[in-house]
C-alpha cells in the first residue's frame, strides 16, 4: 500500500516532501462503505454503515471499521482516501485528498487549501486575499496551469505534503477513536453491496 500511495506522485517529485521514504500508516482504505457482514457459517447480517481500513503501528496490523454515525469525520476521511487511490485525474486527486484533510484538520494550512481552490475555481472568481496571496507566493500567479512544468512541480510538492499530513492526521484520529470502532469476528468477512445483490438474486 505504500506503493499505492506513492504511485500518485511521479518518482521525480517524491523526494522534495519525503514521500519516497515516508511510511504510510493508514492502509487499504476502501472507496465505498460496507453494511453487510458474512459470518463463517454463511449467515449475512446488516451492520451500521462503516468505512474500512487497516492501521500499521509498531509492526502490528489492525483492521478497523469506522461507523458513519459514530465517527462521521473519520468515516468520511477514510472513504475519500479510498476514492483517491481510484482517481485518475490530477486535479481531482488533489481535491479528493483535500476533502479527507478538511475532515480532520480545523486549522488548515492556507497554501494547501489555496491550491485546492485554485484547482476548483476560475482564477477570476478567487476573491479571498489570503487565497490569492498564497497562490501568488508559490505559483507566481493565481491561475494553476498544469501544462507548465514549473506549476506541475509545485503542484506535486504540495500534493506530497498534503498526502503525508493527511495520513498522519487520519492515523492519529483513528488511534484516538479505536474504542468506538469495530472489528470482524474470526472467520467473518465484509460483503460489498454488489455481492449482496448477487447473493439475493441467487437466493
**pLDDT of 199:** 65
For the residues 161-184, what does the mean pLDDT come to? 96
Query: Rounded to an integer, what distance in angstroms lies between the CA atom of residue 7 and that of residue 147?
Result: 20
For the residues 86-112, what does the mean pLDDT come to? 97
pLDDT at 151 over 90: yes
For the residues 23-51, what does the mean pLDDT come to? 91
71 within domain boundaries: yes
Tell me the per-residue pLDDT of 117-149, one tens digit each, with 9 for 90 and over: 999 999 999 999 999 999 999 999 999 999 999
- Is residue 164 within 8 A of residue 141, CB to CB? The reply is no
74 within domain boundaries: yes
Residue 178: pLDDT band by 50, 70, 90 thresholds?
very high
Largest CA distance in the chain: 62
**pLDDT of 28:** 94
Higher per-residue pLDDT: 191 or 105: 105
CA distances from 8 to 2, 163, 189 (A): 10, 10, 29
Task: Give the number of domains in the chain.
Answer: 1
**pLDDT of 136:** 97
Range of the domain at 191: 2-8+24-202
100 within domain boundaries: yes
**pLDDT of 44:** 87
pLDDT at 201 over 90: no
For the residues 3-30, what does the mean pLDDT come to? 93
Percent of the chain at pLDDT exceeding 90 = 82
17 within domain boundaries: no
For the residues 85-100, what does the mean pLDDT come to? 96
16 within domain boundaries: no
Q: Which three cell numbers stand for residue 99?
A: 476533502
Q: Which single residue is written with the C-alpha cell 454488489? A: 194
**pLDDT of 7:** 93
**Minimal CA–CA distance to 160: which of 168, 172, 150?**
168
Percent of the chain at pLDDT exceeding 70 = 95
178 within domain boundaries: yes
Length of the chain: 203
Higher per-residue pLDDT: 198 or 110: 110
Tell me the per-residue pLDDT of 43-92, one tens digit each, with 9 for 90 and over: 888 889 999 999 999 889 999 999 999 999 999 999 999 999 999 999 99
How many Cα atoms occupy the beta-carbon half-sphere of 64 within 13 Å? 32
37 within domain boundaries: yes
For the residues 96-117, what does the mean pLDDT come to? 98
Q: Which three cell numbers stand for residue 135?
A: 497562490
Kindly report the number of other CB atoms within 10 A of residue 75's CB atom.
22
Q: How far apart are the first and last CA of the chain?
A: 36
pLDDT at 185 over 60: yes
Is the Cα torsion angle 141, 146, 151, 155 positive or negative in sign? positive
Kindly provide the b/e burial profile for residues 33-63, where b requires at least 16 CB atoms within 10 angstroms of the residue's own CB.
bbbbbbeeeeeeeeeeebbbbebbeeeeeee
Partner residues linked to 38 by β-bridges: 44, 189
Residue 73 φ/ψ region, left for φ over 0, alpha for ψ in the -120 to 50 degree band, beta for the rest:
alpha
148 within domain boundaries: yes
Amino acid at each position: 500500500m505504500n506503493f499505492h500511495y506513492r504511485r500518485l506522485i511521479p518518482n521525480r517529485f517524491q523526494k522534495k516532501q519525503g514521500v519516497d521514504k515516508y511510511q504510510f500508516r493508514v492502509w487499504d482504505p476502501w472507496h465505498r462503505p460496507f453494511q453487510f457482514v458474512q459470518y463463517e457459517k454463511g449467515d449475512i447480517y446488516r451492520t451500521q454503515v462503516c468505512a474500512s481500513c487497516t492501521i500499521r503501528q509498531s509492526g502490528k496490523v489492525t483492521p478497523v471499521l469506522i461507523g458513519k454515525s459514530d465517527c462521521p469525520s473519520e468515516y468520511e476521511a477514510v472513504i475519500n482516501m479510498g476514492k483517491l487511490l481510484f482517481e485518475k485525474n490530477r486535479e481531482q486527486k488533489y481535491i479528493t485528498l483535500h476533502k479527507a484533510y478538511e475532515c480532520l484538520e480545523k486549522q488548515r494550512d492556507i497554501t494547501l487549501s489555496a491550491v485546492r481552490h485554485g484547482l476548483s475555481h476560475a482564477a477570476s472568481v478567487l476573491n479571498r486575499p489570503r487565497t490569492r496571496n498564497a497562490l501568488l507566493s508559490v505559483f507566481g500567479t493565481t491561475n494553476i496551469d498544469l501544462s507548465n512544468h514549473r506549476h506541475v512541480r509545485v503542484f506535486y510538492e504540495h500534493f506530497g505534503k498534503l498526502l503525508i499530513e493527511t495520513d498522519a492526521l487520519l492515523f492519529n484520529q483513528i488511534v484516538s477513536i479505536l474504542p468506538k470502532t469495530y472489528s470482524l469476528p474470526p472467520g467473518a468477512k465484509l460483503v460489498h453491496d454488489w455481492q449482496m445483490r448477487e447473493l439475493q438474486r441467487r437466493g
